[in-house]
Amino acid sequence: MRSLLSLALIASAAFAADTHKLTRVYEKIATERPIAVVIPDDGSGREFLALQRGKILILPKDEQGTEAKTFLDLSPRGMEAKDGLFEEGLNGLAFHPKFKDNGLFYLCYTLQKPKRLVITEMKADGDKADEKTERTLLEIPLVNWNHHGGNILFGPDGFLYIGVGDNSKRNGELKMSQLNATLYGKILRIDVNSREYSNAYGIPADNPYASGVNALPQIYANGIRNPWGMSFDAKGHLWCADVGQDIWEEINWITNGGNYGWQYREGPAPFPLNTETPPADAKFVEPIHAYNHADGLSITGGIVHAGKSLPELQGAYIYGDFVLGKIWALKTDDAGKLKSNDLLYTSPQTPASDPKKKPTVLVKPTAFCANASGELLVLDWNGAIYRLGK
């Protein structure tokens, strides 16, 4: 009887009516493959939209506006290989905490021949980036087009955090996430205000391997598969959505020196295709939340809602699933224990004309961001931006 009840609850949840809706904004502006809306702390209220093909636009104040200023255009650089349209390109944008004074901002993108992940610094001149000022901080060689992450952001400590995937195609076959002699499958943390390391940046003194003995000093946390969305909340927690493979999608709070399990674990369970036994002294940090592939297939990380809109979502972490077009609101206590996880929205789907093909999901979230007013924006891989509302 209990199993039948459980099945009924699962079925009702799967077909639950949406509690929130999406309203398209900026629809008169071309926004192909949007990956981030970032607002510098300079008092201007400018909303910078990063597009994966390499452009960064300054959105108009009017959501119905017809023109956006081009801040930077990296598309001529050929950042994508033919097989890399899904994840390669521009995947990270962050403004220096003192951008108002120094005009510095940071990018993470891929380049080809040789294939590599590049983190660079550049300076703005008003509403234009000055490409002549670009300075390379870090280059990480890549051997596959997928699982390289690329999300970057500054923490409350003023350091730059960089999410890097394991660069394996499947099954963690390169075994990099647990190998601290590489930067793959890690969250990195560097000091952009210093030049003491390779004359490019500094190493924060409290990084877990700051000495560089038996591990690379840039590493902040390891055991990551493919971080697709990192954000800090007002309490200083670093949220990271880590895309799974066959069974689990997970959300973690990233802590200094934490090991998040991949490729020994996927989500809250051992990864069944891993044949190696973890070291006896290995300690893995459990996810804050995980969902299995009955509910979604590829997690997109989000933000904790701190704006005045949608008071019922205050303090909730808003995130979604890229493949099925779902959006949830997750709430925890201060210790990270799950309090609730509510489904807000499920994208409509257009059935495929060919029964052998999958239906078309109309909204495929690539990121969740806040606009200058604190309202929640949903960026859609299909080339749209939506505002989340009731």
Which are the contacts of 357, defined by CB distance < 8 A and separation ≥ 6?
Answer: none
**List of the chain residues with pLDDT < 50:** 1-14
Return the beta strands (E) in 11-159 as ranges. Answer: 21-25, 34-38, 48-51, 55-58, 69-73, 90-95, 104-111, 116-125, 128-141, 152-154
Residue 12 maps to a domain: no
- In a domain, residue 215? The reply is yes
Q: Is 98 exposed, middle or buried (0-12, 13-18, 19+ CB in 10 A)?
A: middle
How do beta strands 116-125 and 317-321 pair? Answer: unpaired
Numbers of helices and strands, H then E, in the chain: 2, 28
Q: H helices within the chain, ranges in order? A: 2-14, 99-102
Please check whether residue 354 lies inside any domain of the structure.
no
Angle, CA of 252, 256 and 260, to the nearest 5°: 40
pLDDT given for residue 81 in this prediction:
86
Closest C-alpha to 237, from 256, 257, 260 = 256
pTM listed for this prediction: 0.94
In a domain, 101, yes or no: yes
Q: What is the widest separation between alpha-carbon atoms in the chain?
A: 69
Query: Looking at residue 10, what is its pLDDT?
Result: 42
CA 47 from centre of chain: 18
Residues paired with residue 222 on neighbouring β-strands, in sequence order: 186, 259
Q: Domain range spanning residue 95?
A: 29-297
Question: Is the backbone of residue 74 left (phi > 0), alpha (psi -120 to 50) or beta?
Answer: alpha
Of the CA atoms within 13 Å of residue 111, those in its CB half-sphere come to 16
Asked whether 209 and 199 are in contact (CB, 8 A), the reply is no
Q: What is the pLDDT of residues 40-61, one digit of tens each?
A: 999 999 999 999 999 999 999 9
> How many domains are contained in the chain?
1
Cα dihedral sign for 212, 111, 82, 384? positive
Give the DSSP per-residue string, 221-244.
EE--S-EEEEEE-TT--EEEEE--
Round to whole Å and give the CA distance between 79 and 132.
18
Q: Is 37 among the domain residues?
A: yes
Tokens representing residue 348 in the block? 């409509």
Asked if residue 382 is part of any domain, the answer here is no
Query: Considering the domain boundaries, does residue 57 fall inside one?
Result: yes
Task: State the CATH number of the domain containing residue 108.
Answer: 2.120.10.30
Residue at 133 is within a domain: yes
pLDDT of residue 356: 80
- Position 266 scores a pLDDT of 98
Q: How much is the pLDDT for 5?
A: 38
Q: pLDDT at position 15, please?
A: 56
